[in-house]
C-alpha cells in the first residue's frame, strides 16, 4: 500500500516522500521502498527467473 509517512527506501537508501512508495510488513516492523524501486526489483526478478 502507499506510504502515509516519509521514510527511507531499503533498496536505494534515499528518502521516500509520502505517496512515492510502498510500506511493507517486515520482521515485525515496517519498511519502505519507492514505487519505482519495487518495479525495477520485480523486473530484475523476472529476468532471473526466465534464465
Ligand atoms: Zn528507492
Rounded distance, CA 1 to CA 47, Å?
25
Q: Where do the domains of the chain lie? A: 7-50
Render pLDDT for 1-51 as a digit per residue (tens, 0 to 9).
688 889 999 999 999 999 999 999 999 999 999 999 999 999 998 888 776
pLDDT score recorded for residue 51:
63
Of 23, 43, 25, whose CA–CA distance to 33 is shortest?
23
Å from CA of 41 to ligand 1 middle = 10
Rounded distance, CA 13 to CA 51, Å?
29
pLDDT score recorded for residue 49:
76
**Residue reference for cell 509520502:** 18
Å from CA of 49 to ligand 1 middle = 22
Amino acid at each position: 500500500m502507499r506510504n502515509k509517512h516519509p521514510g527511507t527506501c531499503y533498496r536505494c537508501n534515499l528518502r521516500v516522500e509520502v505517496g512515492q512508495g510502498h510500506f511493507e510488513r517486515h520482521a515485525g516492523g515496517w519498511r519502505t521502498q519507492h514505487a519505482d524501486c519495487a518495479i525495477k526489483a520485480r523486473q530484475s526478478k523476472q529476468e532471473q527467473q526466465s534464465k
